[in-house]
Structure 1
Amino acid sequence: MKKKTGLLLLLLMFLLTLVGCGAPKDEATQRSGAKLATLEDLKDKRIGILLGSVHDAYVAKTFPDATVLQYKSPSDLVLAVKTGKVDAAFYTHETLLEILRGDDEIGFLAERIFSVPIGMGFKKGNDELRGQFDLFLRQLKESGVFDDMVRRWILDGTTQMPDIENPKTNGVLTVGIVSDKGMPFTIVKDNRMIGFDVEMAQRFAAYLGKELKLSDMEFGALIPAVSGNKIDQITSTLMITQERKKQIDFSEPYYELGASAFALKKNLAQAQGETNAAVAVSGWQSLADSFHNNIIREKRYLLLLDGLQTTLVLSVSSSFFGTVLGALICFMRMRKNRLVCSSAKVYIALMRGTPVLVLLMLIFYVAFASVDVNPLIAAVLAFALNFAAYVSEMFRTSIESVDKGQTEAGLAGGFSRLQTFVYIVMPQALRQVMPVYKGEFISLVKMTSVVGYIALQDLTKASDIIRSRTFDAFFPIVMVAVLYFIVSWSLALALDYAGAKLDPKQQRKTRRDAL
């Protein structure tokens, strides 16, 4: 029955994908009937901005009566405009130029409203590396290579990375970057990052003779990462502001980025360019096109496979270590020693009262600030600590639910306390705890979707990268939802099998059926 229900749910999710992919894209309408003609028209509208960007302060000052919605990635920002979640949004002019080349649904409301210089970000006090980059930048401009980079990436829109020789004999240069920043600066193509920023980082690494390690993370996590020594520098079109100068040091500016506002063309008073006539296609054809665009093109399935592997390793490892630690905490919690018991109570209260994302950031950026730790190890530790707090209470309540008379009977029968627990109490406790444990384990699998904040590419991050290239509002999200469902369902079946093996009644029934 459970298998049939799971299959029906899976079929339903695929049907939702089909309906979503085939839905007309002009359903979202502007909340008011008036068209947008100037920036002044945004004074009481819903405005989208990128989380942590300089557009935040500008919008807050210029449109105090507007509703401001912050999005964590450029792809989310563009999709918010295209699906009508916001009336307009602000983003980098150069990146929007590239987006508009392949999308005739959106257009500029205002171009280059203001411009801000960009530079590389370094930890305060790291004057040596900052000085090396400034010298490298001056030489790059004098040689004409920098102008060539601007022409190829920004003006011509190339997507070909040059071959750069690098001896890689002087250590490693770890660079924080945002893979879905968008062209011409950073995108993922054929499962590797390319763009103006990537080439700049490669040339600087070659200049230093160091191996380049690109650390892909959320934009809002870049400054904490460089301040916490997790990366050596930020290379992600980081605009130089006075507020940011208080937290990090900047290199000499190497470019000036404009800020532009964009919206759906149908909501603009004077749409720039005609949109293509809508072509009616069947739902199945739309699904097939979305599948090819999101999965096959540029080998994007490799991103999903890598993300799936990370999610599985993280989920299984965290649950294993969390279960072992939870058993230990449960043992401490049930001790009569007041100090030991109180310590366990404090741990449980602390872990259950702290959001797992906050715990993840604290461990990676604070606890391991001076340690070069693999992000996967930090993530396993964070989720295991969180999982252990819940597991310990599950174990305690299930153990206490076993009648004490059975313990007394075991002791009277000649068993030691350990033997009584192992052979009498624990099998009954495990049988009772399995349903609750399974639910908590599934929650753990879903919670791993936040690890993109520490530069881990899981399923959710893979979806973000794909959406940054396709700007498909439906297929990547529902596709990843289906994958999470399959992973959770498969692991739940494995736990059900383990639970059946622990159930004496089920084992006796199995033996009778075998006879």
Structure 2
Amino acid sequence: MKKILTGIICILLCFTFFIEYRVNVYGSQGSNKKGDLQKFTTVEDIKNKRIGVLLGSLQAEYALKNYPNATVLQYKSSSDALVALKSKKVDAILNVRETMMEILKADKSMGFLGGNLYEVPVGVGFNKNNTKLSEEFNSFLKKIKSNGVYDDMVKRWMIDGSQSMPQIPNKEDNGTLVVGGVSDDGLPFTTVKDGKLVGFDVEIETRFAAELGKKLVFSDMEFGSLIAAVSTNKVDMITSALAITEERKKKINFSDPYYKLGTGVLVLKENLASYASETNHDKTESSFIKSIGDSFYNNIILENRYMLIVNGLKLTIIVAGLAAVFGTILGMLICFMRMSRNRLLINVASGYIAILRGTPILVFLMLIFYVFFASVNIDPVFAAIIAFGMNFAAYVSEMFRTAILGIDKGQQEAGIATGFTKVQTFLYIIMPQAIKQVLPVYKGEVISLLKNTSIVGYIAVQDLTKAGDIIRSRTFDAFFPLIMVATIYFILSWLLTMLLDYMGRKIDPRARKQSKSKIKFTVKESNFTT
């Protein structure tokens, strides 16, 4: 077993190194030929190209309106858009200029095309009914602007490029303040460093919470979920360099503007007409091992980023494990209802299966958290377990029903004839055979459940995938975190497969007999040889 696991890990590491090598030496898609892409001189040159934007952002609206002939691709995070640019899936990115300036400090392969496209005021978002909190924030904002604190913040974060938070005392004796945001938004606004949130927006949130004497609780979610979260009172306020627009004002209340953001166009430098491309494959090849070592250090060791992976892995296992248990129990109940003679129970079970199997799991997850539990202060991890468990139950119920129907009715009659009750006949005769038939299909569904949990970031659960996104937002490494997360998911799936196979052998009498026979045969063969 250890040899097999070691071999798999070695193969995955070799695959990781190969991908990194291909990216570093040849670039993604192997396109380094001159003339493959027209060089950009002005922003007008991207009007018929592929443009990457953040899902639900003002940049997305701008691109769709001003570049009707372009292919606009919307991504759930800035990190995903960055990956798309570096892998040449898009030709340009439209994003907040201040955030992209931080990216350019760490990655010299990209550059700006032209200046600001436009500037827009940003503010903090509040629920329409929570006018008291928005008024308190506006008073707080006026206070820090008048006493010089705000100017100091702008200088540190926006001009000096600070990456550390000041000490802000807080009595925390007046309840909690739940703030929704995006932890991988990037500096200067919000990011994770040494396991703690830092940034301009984070400091504003922290100072405001201290002003109110409330404990700050940060709810990490996808950008596209922010407005839904504050509209349904899942959080008290939202901050994520959120542009103030008339469309958004219809759904939430905004504070007074606290900053003005510019929007710029980011492209690969090799596609800029003003950039003299210098490609030296030999130099890249000679530094390949060093680049792998640097990637490992930057993504795993630096700032204890491995703890993000560890914590994300724990949540992934918790959500997947508890959802599988809950879903299995619920699935058995649905199966019982589906096979009963009561027409009402049959119809309820059939409707449940049809709805759950016909609804995409992401949509159902959002409905559970933002609609069904809209007025309930439910933990997002618990909501995820319920959503995945209910979805899993719809498939489990049909697995068990098919397996039970596949067993000869004569066995049930024989069991009753020997003196068993119907319940005993089912538990001791029917159920063991049904489980044996279900297990191969069940194994595949459990693995699918594990992989599907990668979407829980939409409801503010920092799972394994979200941890990778946060690391990418800090290192601007487009590939290593993705490959690392994919490798961990593969190992988890493999270990889960081995566990379920072991359970299958334990509950299968024939497999146990074959295993014992092999052991006896091996012992006899050994004695004969001796």
Structure 1 length normalisation: TM-score? 0.96
Q: 2:285 & 2:507 partners in 1: Cα distance? A: 56
Residue 394 of structure 1 pairs with residue 393 of structure 2: no
Query: Which blocks of at least 5 consecutive residues in structure 1 are unaligned?
Result: none
Residue 300 of structure 1 pairs with residue 300 of structure 2: no
Alignment of 1:37-436 (within 5 A): 37-271=41-275, 279-281=284-286, 283-436=288-441
Q: Deviations over 1:151-206 (max 9, x none)?
A: 00000001111000000011000001111111111111111110000000000000
Residue 501 of structure 1: which of 493, 497, 506 is its match? 506
Q: Deviations over 1:40-92 (max 9, x none)?
A: 11121111111111011211121110111111111111222222111111111
CA-CA distance at 1:506 after TM superposition: 2.3
Q: 1:123 & 1:33 partners in 2: Cα distance? A: 46
Residue 459 of structure 1 pairs with residue 492 of structure 2: no
Residue 475 of structure 2: which of 470, 483, 492 is its match? 470
On the 8 A contact 1:13/1:478 being kept in 2, the answer is no
- Secondary structure, counterpart of 1:41 in structure 2: helix
Q: 2:105 & 2:5 partners in 1: Cα distance? A: 42
- Secondary structure, counterpart of 1:34 in structure 2: coil
Q: Deviations over 1:459-507 (max 9, x none)?
A: 1001101111112222111111111111111122211121112111123
CA-CA distance at 1:275 after TM superposition: 9.8
Structure 2 length normalisation: TM-score? 0.93
Q: 1:329 & 1:450 partners in 2: Cα distance? A: 26
Q: Deviations over 1:105-156 (max 9, x none)?
A: 1111022110000000001121100000000000010010000000000000
Q: Give the aligned CA root-mean-square deviation in angstroms.
A: 2.0
Q: 2:460 & 2:107 partners in 1: Cα distance? A: 29
Match of 2:525 in 1: none
How many residue pairs align between the two structures? Answer: 514
Q: 1:360 & 1:17 partners in 2: Cα distance? A: 32
Q: 1:336 & 1:292 partners in 2: Cα distance? A: 62
Q: 2:501 & 2:101 partners in 1: Cα distance? A: 53
Q: Deviations over 1:264-320 (max 9, x none)?
A: 111011239999995443544332221111100110000000000001111110000
On the 8 A contact 2:79/2:478 being kept in 1, the answer is no
Match of 1:13 in 2: 12
Distance change >3 Å, CA 514–CA 272, structure 1 → 2: closer
On the 8 A contact 2:179/2:218 being kept in 1, the answer is yes
Distance change >3 Å, CA 275–CA 105, structure 1 → 2: farther
Distance change >3 Å, CA 271–CA 282, structure 1 → 2: closer
The amino acid of 1:27's aligned partner reads: G
Q: 1:412 & 1:3 partners in 2: Cα distance? A: 49
Alignment of 1:24-35 (within 5 A): 24-25=23-24, 27-28=27-28, 29=31, 32-35=36-39
CA-CA distance at 1:12 after TM superposition: 3.3
- Secondary structure, counterpart of 1:23 in structure 2: helix
The amino acid of 1:404's aligned partner reads: K
Distance change >3 Å, CA 158–CA 238, structure 1 → 2: same
Distance change >3 Å, CA 273–CA 400, structure 1 → 2: closer
The amino acid of 1:505's aligned partner reads: R
The amino acid of 2:118's aligned partner reads: F
Q: 2:150 & 2:277 partners in 1: Cα distance? A: 32
- Secondary structure, counterpart of 1:258 in structure 2: strand
The amino acid of 1:416's aligned partner reads: T
The amino acid of 2:208's aligned partner reads: F
Query: Which blocks of at least 5 consecutive residues in structure 2 are unaligned?
Result: 521-530
Q: Mean alpha-carbon deviation: is it higher for 405-414 or for 441-450?
A: 405-414
CA-CA distance at 1:513 after TM superposition: 5.9
Distance change >3 Å, CA 68–CA 220, structure 1 → 2: same
- Secondary structure, counterpart of 1:372 in structure 2: coil
Q: Mean alpha-carbon deviation: is it higher for 10-19 or for 219-228?
A: 10-19
On the 8 A contact 2:83/2:479 being kept in 1, the answer is no
Q: 1:407 & 1:3 partners in 2: Cα distance? A: 44
Q: 1:501 & 1:286 partners in 2: Cα distance? A: 47
Q: 1:514 & 1:27 partners in 2: Cα distance? A: 53
On the 8 A contact 2:106/2:476 being kept in 1, the answer is no
The amino acid of 2:16's aligned partner reads: T
Q: 1:457 & 1:312 partners in 2: Cα distance? A: 12
On the 8 A contact 1:116/1:258 being kept in 2, the answer is yes
Alignment of 1:480-499 (within 5 A): 480-499=485-504
Q: Deviations over 1:349-384 (max 9, x none)?
A: 010001111111011111111111111100000000
The amino acid of 2:157's aligned partner reads: W
- Secondary structure, counterpart of 1:238 in structure 2: coil
On the 8 A contact 2:270/2:277 being kept in 1, the answer is no
Distance change >3 Å, CA 33–CA 339, structure 1 → 2: closer
Q: 2:290 & 2:474 partners in 1: Cα distance? A: 20
Distance change >3 Å, CA 51–CA 276, structure 1 → 2: farther
The amino acid of 2:27's aligned partner reads: E
Q: Mean alpha-carbon deviation: is it higher for 500-509 or for 340-349?
A: 500-509
The amino acid of 2:451's aligned partner reads: K
On the 8 A contact 2:123/2:254 being kept in 1, the answer is yes
The amino acid of 1:209's aligned partner reads: G
Distance change >3 Å, CA 308–CA 33, structure 1 → 2: closer
Q: 2:333 & 2:214 partners in 1: Cα distance? A: 44
The amino acid of 1:21's aligned partner reads: E
Sequence identity (%): 55
